[in-house]
Chains A and B, each alone.
Chain A
């Protein structure tokens, strides 16, 4: 079983309309935990419970699999191993989009390490040209998250 974005949006809506702050949905292969209130900054956390074979599981883009950026471009590496989120909350617009001008301290995403949310800053000024990391996926330490055309 897999969840589509639409499924998640529907479940979120149900939770939003209910009196509950927390929802844990577990089927044979999938576990979804949703929380709101003070923990609302935390996006949906999913966990595969029944493990598909490692080889078949979608491997996150490993740092070494992305070619080094050509001259004039710079990659922003993940400062931590954790789950990468593009938006502050599910349903909200992402922190950044391709084509956007960013500054060194622009937040490009969040990395969750065991319920602790860590903002990731670009650390470089320029134009965002590519986003490598998928939303709500595990990223490794040092893995390129986004690519930036550095400003003069």
Chain B
């Protein structure tokens, strides 16, 4: 049965983004909102809006049963979870399966296979995809033995984790027991799963991820890679495609590894396989798979001409993949800046409030994904993403120039933003030359640039 009406279980710019594709496809939208988002742009654009609960996401956007009840009660054939919130919660996918509502994402068991980081490592090994040396530690004796084998520096990571929570760096093996206890406690509190594992710390690595699409029956294509090495505390700030200065052989091997991993899982839908790339050794390691659409998907759309949300919907609808690998053409270069309501001058503290002025640029090769218009509220309950400004050009230099021109035209009043900070990074010679590693941004900040206030 073709999908005719979709419940969107998300907010902010991604809700607007999903509505845009649904309108183009002639699909009706029902947007689930908390009381804080009743007046949001998404709520104005959706065909129908349902208030699912109060502002805190634990009482609204994170309630699996309420979301499915909202879909059933409005006769939606499908649920799009966006990113964050319930997008990688196997319980939602499973309840959808049970109730006959299409979940626009992978099967529940695939979410589980990649959500447990140790299991994901094992799946990667089974698919002959290289992983960072490391593994599970059940007790302190095992931890000590494994720690000695891996050697310092190493990382203690949460099995159920992500985003840097439950992650500890160990430079001296004598610190290992303490780091294990701390990481385990943090992981237990953040993810309800106190299990941790060890991995060798690869310094000066680059974060490169591959966009894949799978039909759920073993058919998998990739849509190129994204370099997301510009990060602050594991939060991505700038993403681009293609990854600069990657040898053709390494790029090809990374793409092939991502496809191999997704094919091994018989992955369904859009997903991203993340790798840590060691440029000096020309080697790469599997980090994790994100079983959802990602914030940075527009850079891939810009160079491929694909609408990844439309591809997600088609796959959920049982239409499979519309493209073969050879049909995927990647043209030029695209770069995205995440504009956040945060104050670089105050250690990037979140800056919620009401937007009094919002001007976003329109120009050739520029795309802005946002839910922010004058009068919009930026509630303190959710992430601080205001917009994504994405530039496309025939080459990296052209895309960078367009991006900087576009950022210069942005005007946001009422909250602090990191627009000026982004411009300072774009102007930095190290970033401009391309191919920075994940330690770049801390290095840049340590140089104490005069960060222009957005």
Contact = CB atoms under 8 A, between A and B. Distances in A.
A81 B75 contact: no
A63 B47 CA distance: 17
B95 A81 contact: no
Interface string A116-145: 100000000000000000000010111100
Interface string B49-62: 11111100000100
Interface in A41-70: 47-55, 57, 59, 62-64
Interface stretch (B66-74, B223-231, B361-369): B66-74
Given A81-B66, A81-B70, A140 B95 contact: no
A51 B77 contact: yes
Contacts of A51: 4-5, 28, 75-77
Nearest to A137: B73
| Range, interface on chain A | 20 to 34
A79 to B, nearest CB: 9
A119 B15 CA distance: 32
Given A54-B28, A141-B51, A142-B35, A47 B69 contact: no
Contacts of B95: 114
Interface in A4-21: none
Contact of B54 (A62, A82, A141): A141
B277 interface: no
A48 B65 contact: no
Contact of A54 (B5, B38, B77): B5
Contacts of A54: 5, 28, 30, 47-48, 74
A49 B75 contact: yes
Contact of A83 (B49, B54, B73, B75): B73
Interface in B78-106: 95
| Main secondary structure on B side of the interface with A | mixed
Given A51-B5, A114-B68, A138 B73 contact: yes
A81 B74 contact: no
Given A55-B47, A116-B65, A47 B72 contact: yes
Contacts of A81: 50-53, 66, 69-70, 73
B72 A140 contact: no
A143 B65 contact: no
Interface residues of B, number: 27
B53 A63 contact: no
Given A51-B5, A114-B95, A141 B52 contact: yes
A61 to B, nearest CB: 12
Nearest to B77: A51
B66 A47 contact: no
A81 B59 CA distance: 11
B75 A141 contact: no
A113 interface: yes
Contact of A114 (B28, B30, B69): B69
A112 B68 CA distance: 12
A48 B69 contact: no
A80 to B, nearest CB: 7
A113 B73 CA distance: 10
A102 to B, nearest CB: 25
A83 B75 CA distance: 13
Given A81-B69, A82-B66, A114-B95, A140 B51 contact: yes
A113 B4 contact: no
A53 B48 CA distance: 11
Contacts of B49: 62
A82 B73 CA distance: 8
Given A54-B74, A81-B52, A112-B69, 18 more contacts: A47-B72, A47-B75, A49-B75, A51-B75, A52-B75, A54-B28, A54-B30, A80-B53, A80-B66, A81-B53, A81-B66, A81-B70, A82-B69, A83-B69, A138-B74, A141-B52, A141-B54, A142-B35
21 contacts: A48-B75, A50-B75, A51-B77, A52-B75, A54-B30, A55-B47, A63-B51, A64-B38, A80-B53, A81-B50, A81-B52, A81-B53, A81-B66, A81-B69, A83-B69, A83-B73, A113-B69, A114-B66, A114-B69, A138-B74, A141-B60
Interface of A: 47-55, 57, 59, 62-64, 80-83, 112-114, 116, 138, 140-143
